[in-house]
Every structure is written in structure tokens, then in C-alpha cells.
Amino acid sequence: MTDRTFPHEPSSPTTDDTSSPRPGPPSPRPFRQRLGLLTAALVAGTALLPPAVASAGPLPSGFGSDFGDVSVRVLGGAATIVPGRSGLVEISGYKGAALPAGSSLRLTAPAGARVTGTPLADAAGFQGSVATDGASGTYTYVRDSGAGSWRDSGYPFALAVDARAVPGTRLPGCTVLLTDAGGRRRASGGCTVTVGMPGPTLTEPAGGTFVSGAGRLAGTSYPGARVTVLDATEHRVCAGVAHVDGAWSCTPNTPLPRGANRLHASAAFNGVSAVGEDVDFTVTAGTA
């Protein structure tokens, strides 16, 4: 019967005479020895690698796209914008290769805001556009020669926040996408837009007036905000809470000194704050 196992040992000699070896297949031992040495070398080499490399897991999803570097995908920016007003959010973070004409950067506005402008348009070879409904804004690289790096300090987008937005909240849904001339994604990310606090006003006493004492200070602020009145040395004069209509008032803890006075109001609500403008007035007589 033919032996079909492999590898197998050659048949044992029938005599003790080793001077004339019997013909047959070569011994597999040198091959096994080489295989053992190779395995040992590989194990030793792995032991010398850093832990993160020696125990590396599967490659990230999408690895090899975006120039094979997942870091180029991270785009971002942040801004704090007061309700009913506009502000700028600058997008940056691209670390990939320069892209030719036709590449573009698009920002989709978060809920409760709309894109109102692309201030960098017509500068450095970039063209800007804004969707009719303000849902998004886009920069497109249009220079005929050379390539746009997209790695500058920031690409600004003007955003307007709804007047009904609540201070201290973050508007969700902002996304950013960088594509090449063929529409292939090269980087992506988002932006963080926090609704800011409107500055409070101090309307009583009015600036530039002469008052006989100052038994009551008043003004306006965001409803529910805690308003604190401070003097020129940042000393607390009095505090109050803005009502539903935004009106607030408080009485100084101690009489205001005679002569020139400078006060301003500071308001805080839901983790954000704002400081109002200074108001200068003159006290002609102290309060009792």
C-alpha cells in the first residue's frame, strides 16, 4: 500500500551500515528547522514592537480614502451668537493634500440658524455662495492654476440665530463637508453654535443725568436672567431678576456716593453671561 502522508519520515534502514545511504526522498528536518527559526524570529520581532502596533486591530472603516489618513477628516469650528443677531464661525482642521480648482467646502446651518454670508468670497481664489433659504453656504476654489490648500487658519461663515433661541443652548445639526472637483469627500466635521446672552441695559438713572440720590436702579434683560449692578471698581451695588417682560430693578445695598458715578449691569442665564454698557451719571445728594 502506498503511503500518501506528507511530510513523512524515510523508511528505516535494514542494516546498520551507514556508509552507503539508501536512495529515497530527502529528510524534511532542514525545512522544519528553517520554519521554526522563521516563526521564532517573527514572534521576537512582534515582542519588540510598541503595544499599540503589536496588538493592532482591524483598520478603521474607510481607511485608505481621504489620502489614507483619518486625521484629514476632522473639520470644525465654534461660535457663540446672541439671539436675533449674526456671528462668524470659522471652519478649520484640514490636514490633507492641496486640492485643485473645483474643490469646495460646504457648511449646513444648524437648526435655529441660517447662513447669511461667506466673507472670504472673491479673496485668494475662492468663490462663495449661499442657498436661497440660508440652509447652507459654500466656498469653491476657482483659481485656474495651482491648488487650494484648505489648510489656512479658517474659512468664515456668517450665521444668524433665531431671535427666539434660548441663551445657553447649543443648536444641533451643523455639518461641514470638503469635496474635491469630482465630488469625492475629502474631509468632514461639524460646528458648535452656542446661543449667547444678550447684554442687559441700565436705563434708570439715564446716562449724563443728575439725580438726587439713587434709590432705584432699573433696566431690561433676558427674562429670567439674574442681573447684578456693579460700580467702576466692580463692587456689587445690588441685584435682581428680570421678569417675563424683561424688566428688572433693584435698590442699592448702600447709598451711592455724591458726585460722579459709573455703573453697569451684568446678566447671567443658563450658563452664559453678558455685560452691559457703562452708564455715567452724577449724584447730587446721598440717600438717607
Residue 219 covered by a domain: yes
Domain count, the chain: 2
Q: What is the pLDDT of residue 285?
A: 73
Residue 158 shares a structural domain with residue 234: no
Residue 126 shares a structural domain with residue 235: no
Q: Is residue 233 scored above 70 in pLDDT?
A: yes
pLDDT class of 146 with cuts at 50, 70, 90: low
CATH code, domain carrying 208? 2.60.40.1220
Give the separation between CA 224 and CA 92, rounded to whole angstroms. Answer: 36
pLDDT class of 214 with cuts at 50, 70, 90: low
Residue 160 shares a structural domain with residue 217: no
Q: What is the pLDDT of residue 107?
A: 99
Residue 155 shares a structural domain with residue 220: no
Give the separation between CA 260 and CA 252, rounded to whole angstroms. Answer: 16
Residue 96 covered by a domain: yes
Chain segment 159-190, per-residue pLDDT in tens = 999 999 999 999 999 999 999 999 999 999 99
Residue 232 covered by a domain: yes
Give the separation between CA 107 and CA 112, rounded to whole angstroms. Answer: 14
- Residue 271 CB-half CA count within 13 A: 7
Average pLDDT of span 239-256: 94
Chain segment 108-131, per-residue pLDDT in tens = 999 999 999 999 877 778 899 999
- Domain residues for the domain of 208 are 201-283
Residue 103 shares a structural domain with residue 169: yes
Task: Please provide the average confidence, as pLDDT, over all residues in the chain.
Answer: 80
pLDDT class of 150 with cuts at 50, 70, 90: confident
Short-list 287, 285, 239, 247, CA closest to 265: 239
Full-model pTM: 0.70
Residue 43 covered by a domain: no
CATH code, domain carrying 146? 2.60.40.680
Residue 178 shares a structural domain with residue 205: no
pLDDT class of 255 with cuts at 50, 70, 90: confident
What φ, ψ does residue 39 adopt, rounded to 5°? Answer: -60, -45
Where is the domain boundary, 142, 169, 195? Answer: 195
Q: What is the pLDDT of residue 73?
A: 59
The grid coordinates of residue 30 equal: 532542514
Q: What is the pLDDT of residue 148?
A: 65
Residue 72 shares a structural domain with residue 189: yes
Chain segment 2-25, per-residue pLDDT in tens = 444 444 444 444 444 444 444 555
Residue 210 shares a structural domain with residue 180: no
Residue 263 shares a structural domain with residue 279: yes
Cβ atoms within 10 Å of 95's Cβ, excluding its own:
15
CB 100 within 8 A of CB 142: no
Q: Is residue 95 scored above 70 in pLDDT?
A: yes
Give the separation between CA 278 and CA 141, rounded to whole angstroms. Answer: 45
210-211 and 279-283 strand pairing = parallel
pLDDT class of 134 with cuts at 50, 70, 90: very high
The grid coordinates of residue 19 equal: 556508509
170-171 and 99-100 strand pairing = unpaired
Where is the domain boundary, 195, 216, 239? Answer: 195
Q: What is the pLDDT of residue 122?
A: 72
Q: What is the pLDDT of residue 98?
A: 87
CB 207 within 8 A of CB 214: no
3-class SS shares of the chain: helix, strand, coil, % to 5: 10, 40, 50
Q: Is residue 272 scored above 90 in pLDDT?
A: yes
Residue 77 covered by a domain: yes
Judged by DSSP in three states, 99 sits in strand
Chain segment 33-70, per-residue pLDDT in tens = 444 443 444 334 433 333 333 333 333 333 334 344 44
Give the separation between CA 228 and CA 82, rounded to whole angstroms. Answer: 19
Single-letter amino acid code for the residue at 1:
M
- Residue 30 CB-half CA count within 13 A: 3
Q: Distance between alpha carbon 13 and the CA centroid of its chain, in Å?
A: 78
Q: Is residue 152 scored above 50 in pLDDT?
A: yes
